[in-house]
Amino acid sequence: MEDTSEDASASEQAQEQILYTAEEAAALVQLTPYWLKYRARQGLIPHRRVGRLFRFAREDLEAIKDMSAQPVKTPRESA
């Protein structure tokens, strides 16, 4: 069996994936653990379930940040 670089990088990524608790994730995205758990329970934000516990991967946190980004409002011209 020959291990290709794609197989090796996929296994490295799987080993490196860290799952954060709601408390750890909340500190990273500057939200409250309650907010994360509530939204995850509602299915409104990406998350993982480990048994009955909520866990968040780095890509989940990036997606949550992207979801909450607000476009810059430009002032409207008066008529």
The enclosing domain of 48 has a CATH number of: 1.10.1660.10
**Is residue 3 one of the residues assigned to a domain?**
no
**Rounded to whole angstroms, how far apart are CA atoms 47 and 59?**
9
What average pLDDT does the segment 51-56 reach?
Answer: 96
**Is residue 32 one of the residues assigned to a domain?**
yes
* Domains identified in the chain, total number: 1
- The pLDDT of residue 71 is 80
Q: What is the mean pLDDT of the chain?
A: 85
State the pTM of this model.
Answer: 0.69
**Is residue 74 one of the residues assigned to a domain?**
no
* pLDDT, tens only, 13-47: 655 689 999 999 999 999 999 999 999 999 999 99
What average pLDDT does the segment 50-66 reach?
Answer: 95
CA atoms within 13 A on the CB side of 29: 27
**Rounded to whole angstroms, how far apart are CA atoms 54 and 13?**
21
**Residue in the block written with tokens 């516990």:** 53
